[in-house]
Amino acid sequence: MEKHPTASGLSPEKLAKLWNIGSEADKTEKAVDQDGKKTELLRDWLAGSLPRLASEAKPQRREHVNLWSIVSSLTDLPINRLLQNPGTDLALLRKVKDYFKRLSGSAKSRTEYHVANTIYYAAIASALVFHDRRITKFSYKDLEEYFRRLDQENWIPEALRGLFTKACEYCRVK
């Protein structure tokens, strides 16, 4: 039986290069797919509202009832609007930060973890940029590095990256 070459006379080195080209394409495809998943999840979470936590009880005093209804209606706003709005109350930004910190700690995937952390840092950035307040114990130097990294992520919407850019500059000046 006559053997037919299956490699068309290519050397083992050339074959290895061809295989590597294909495997690099697979890696790039997987990275793009992961970024797509992150983008989609981030868009969904930013469009959603902050859940009312079971531990929050309605105020008992009459004068607090009106304030409670205002805060409750604010939590129905999309998270993206809360983060991008200079008028969002600092206490509400803390709630967003705390909620997404807990969510990142219980994330079921790397995608959920990255997206939850992104919103966590967005709440911190919003407090810095719009209220001149730091709502975390991280140093300005560490925050600047985190914001810089997030600002370079292509899967994060441009408006949110703009918030990270401003926060990064704020921390650099501090």
Supply the range of the domain harboring residue 159: 12-173
**Overall pTM surpassing 0.75 (yes/no):** no
Is 35 contained in some domain? yes
In a domain, 160, yes or no: yes
Residue 1 lies in a domain: no
Task: Please indicate, yes or no, if residue 87 is contained in any of the structural domains.
Answer: yes
Mapping DSSP onto H, E and C, the string for the chain reads: CCCCCCCCCCCHHHHHHHHHHHHHHHHHHHHHHHHHHHHHHHHHHHHCECCCCCCCCCCCCHHHHHHHHHHHHHCCCEHHHHHHCCCCCHHHHHHHHHHHHHHHHCCCCHHHHHHHHHHHHHHHHHHHHHHCCCCCCCCHHHHHHHHHHHHCCCCCCHHHHHHHHHHHHHHHHC
Tally of structural domains, the chain: 1
Give a yes or no: residue 6 inside a domain: no
Residue 20: per-residue pLDDT: 65
- Kindly state whether residue 4 falls inside one of the protein's structural domains: no
58 located within any domain = yes
User: pLDDT tens per residue, the chain (174 residues)?
Assistant: 555 555 566 666 765 665 566 555 455 555 558 899 999 999 999 999 877 543 343 444 444 444 444 444 456 789 999 999 999 999 999 999 999 999 999 999 999 999 999 999 999 999 999 999 999 999 999 999 999 999 999 999 999 999 999 999 999 998
In a domain, 2, yes or no: no
